Amino acid sequence: MATIKASSYEILIDEDYAKLNAYVESLSPSNIIIIVDENTEVHCLPKIKKHLHQDFLSIKIPAGEKYKSISTCQGLWETLIKYNCDRQSLIINLGGGVIGDMGGFVAGTYMRGIRFIQMPTTLLSQVDASVGGKLAIDLSSYKNIVGLFLEPSMVWVDTSFIQTLTELELRSGYAEVIKHALIRSKALWQRINSRKLDYSSEEWSTLITDNIAIKNFVVQQDFKEGGLRKVLNFGHTIGHSIESHFLNSTSPLTHGEAIAAGMICESYISHEQNLISESELSTITSYIRSLYPINVRLSTISTELIRIMGHDKKNVSGQILFSLIEGIGDSTYDVHVDDDIIIKALEYYDNITS
């Protein structure tokens, strides 16, 4: 299939588990722990049991963003102690972005750090979350506010797991595909925008490989997000605030739905900053809205959203800083945007979805 080299590890897009077995054997782990949730335990773990030659124990956690918390971490740490895990143990995170983020955070902090392999099972985690060594959990209403930068021993991407996903889950992950195109690849944008998306027949392996290459290239230039890597946050300053606001509501949004709304709003801000044309804004808005016709009103909760944005990790000295697109396929970062422009962007979103 494909191998993409990161700075200290490899990202393998493959279904030949002989390579995974050989690598795990080379680590000589004292024991192996696989972290799953109720979904990956049913749909993905049986394949690992069939193909992974080494013995392992599994730990199951509840599925969902609201469980990406310090209390879940505490339960995981206590179970690792119960299983007599030491510094030679190996954790395999078998799941989506929540398990990858939290499992990696738990591995990176247990005994000051043990080895872990990311095994992403969702489109979102395969094209984005599993690559780059960002690990974090949520605290209160703030997404990914506690975490660290730490690279895994390996990322193993089995694209057949895509077949276990619902269209809702695929749509959520596809938002990151759109983001990668807008910030870094005009060719990818032209490819995805030139045809109608069919979730049942998409050539996911090719799309996943291309997106991993984009994400990995940016991360290699700036691992700890001091500069260029910030462009990967396009759509996320507003998107994360939307996701956080609705997280504990009766109708929470998926990550992709929130980021899609965030990309529309931040495309509007890019236009206001004279970085994209009105035609580009219209094209982006139409395409994203065709895939994410989410009926939420944002301007009525602008005060709360801006409050949450005030805790964004890119901010400096109390200023909300945005990563914006600078023409389709290019991007910039650290752009200060006043609250009145943010409110106008939220109103723009409301007007096109009403």
Beta-bridge mates of residue 261: none
Domains of the chain by start residue, with CATH = 2-164 (3.40.50.1970), 167-353 (1.20.1090.10)
* Radius of gyration for the chain, computed over Cα atoms and rounded to the nearest angstrom: 20
Q: What is the pLDDT of residues 198-214, one digit of tens each?
A: 998 899 999 999 999 99
**Phi, psi (rounded to 5 degrees) for 228:** -55, -35
> pTM for the whole thing?
0.94
The answer to whether 84 touches 74, Cβ cutoff 8 Å, is: no
Catalytic site positions: 112, 134, 176, 215, 225, 229, 233, 236, 240, 255
pLDDT digits (tens, 9 = 90+) for 46-67: 999 999 999 999 999 999 999 9
Would you say residue 353 has pLDDT above 90?
A: no
Residue type, 293: P
Q: How far apart are CA 143 and CA 150, in angstroms?
A: 18
Return the number of other C-beta atoms located less than 10 Å from residue 27's C-beta: 15
